[in-house]
A and B are shown apart, each in its own frame.
Chain A
């Protein structure tokens, strides 16, 4: 099996690479590339993302044909894709970080700043917070409700159709932190930095 981690200059992806390689060992080939053909031939794709919604969307768009290739992979070929952090946020139609920016539109909804209740809650939301699993997700196999995951973000995805939400976490309000829609998976938290439980989520995705 081939898994591609999309390298599109979206900031630091070393930890994502290290964690996937740790879990995959020699059983699965992990490719880190923006090469369109390699992505097309992959069995699964990981879409990381750090920085702002706008900077990530811009970086994706800057690579000629990448957005089309991802659309084909996900929407036409229905192959599994895991978005992490801003990688997940980009599934939405629109994001409001820096300026209004169009997303990939795979999950109807928007990405807005977390309401910090006039400074009552610090932003970014940094640290370990608990998963409230609201529906069964294939990537949560063997993961207990209330498990701790590592978060670092100031914006949240707000899907129109709540049935795609697989987990939320409590910070100022109930924040969507994981989605599953058919072959599309996303986590707002960082499984690659969430210790052994995070690695298990990565393992679940690899074993889909």
Chain B
């Protein structure tokens, strides 16, 4: 049977790993290529890089990081952050990314999702949805969480599925970096509205949160950064725990 995936995510800035609290206050901590290799050797089902490099002159560093990683890690590699065009996607895929996640560009110009999924196939197009709760709905934020678009996250998710997204990476902006758990409500609402897999992201602080993301949030895959990055848990710990809770994982 198909297994639920555990995806460690590495936030990369200027070619180095960082992890922020609520998308600000970044701490530096290491080489992404080496860390990705440690994760894949430890049983990660997939690796995710989120490039948060702000300056244009350092943008190209991520291509080098991706190229080096893809020569060492033989599990799927998803890369996102700053992806604006079909050409950006092409470059990342050519460097060895298996999937590219699109955030701001998907909101500003949904044609990018349509065109790229036609050109490269839906299997490599992930749409990243950053959403924040506003009263009784969730709204899409772009530009690394700085801009509120007012767009309804659930309707947007459906639209992205129709545009050809192969997967949705759903991050709760309220939870990201807080370690209090995924926004289960958001995950399960989106997951039940679309027929493509949902990757839950934002807020993991312990292994029960991963269990909740799958059991209650109906996510196909769970993404986490800090619990793995700061060594609180290994990917193996996470898999063994999920397995003990009856969740099918690759061990």
Query: A192 contacts B74, CB within 8 Å?
Result: yes
- In B205-226, the 8 Å CB interface with A consists of 220-221
Query: A19 contacts B74, CB within 8 Å?
Result: yes
Type the 1/0 row for A55-91, where 1 means its CB is closer than 8 Å to any CB of B.
1000000000000000000000000000000000000
Q: Which residues of B contact A150 (CB under 8 A)?
A: 75-76
Query: A124 contacts B94, CB within 8 Å?
Result: no
Quote the shortest CB–CB distance from A174 to chain B (angstroms). Answer: 12
Chain B binding surface, main DSSP class: loop
| List of 10 A-B pairs having minimum Cβ-Cβ separation, nearest first | A51-B121, A12-B93, A14-B96, A152-B123, A128-B250, A148-B250, A128-B3, A129-B2, A50-B121, A122-B197
In the assembled complex, the Cα of A22 lies from the Cα of B220 at a distance in Å of 30
Q: Which residues of B contact A122 (CB under 8 A)?
A: 195-197, 220
Q: 10 A-B contacts, Cβ less than 8 Å apart?
A: A12-B120, A15-B96, A18-B74, A127-B220, A128-B45, A151-B2, A171-B1, A171-B2, A193-B98, A195-B40
Q: Is residue A125 contacting chain B, with contact meaning CB distance below 8 A?
A: yes
In the assembled complex, the Cα of A130 lies from the Cα of B2 at a distance in Å of 7
Type the 1/0 row for A117-155, where 1 means its CB is closer than 8 Å to any CB of B.
001001111111110000000000000000010111110
Query: B123 contacts A126, CB within 8 Å?
Result: yes
Q: Is residue A186 contacting chain B, with contact meaning CB distance below 8 A?
A: no
B side interface size, CB within 8 A? 32
Query: A126 contacts B167, CB within 8 Å?
Result: yes
Cβ-defined partner of B5 (8 Å) among A51, A127, A199: A127
B: residues with CB less than 8 A from A are 1-5, 40, 45, 70-71, 74-76, 93-98, 119-124, 166-167, 195-197, 220-221, 250
Query: B94 contacts A12, CB within 8 Å?
Result: yes
In the assembled complex, the Cα of A44 lies from the Cα of B250 at a distance in Å of 32
Known: A11-B121, A122-B220. A148 touches B3 (CB 8 A): yes
Q: Which residues of A contact B124 (CB under 8 A)?
A: 11-12, 50
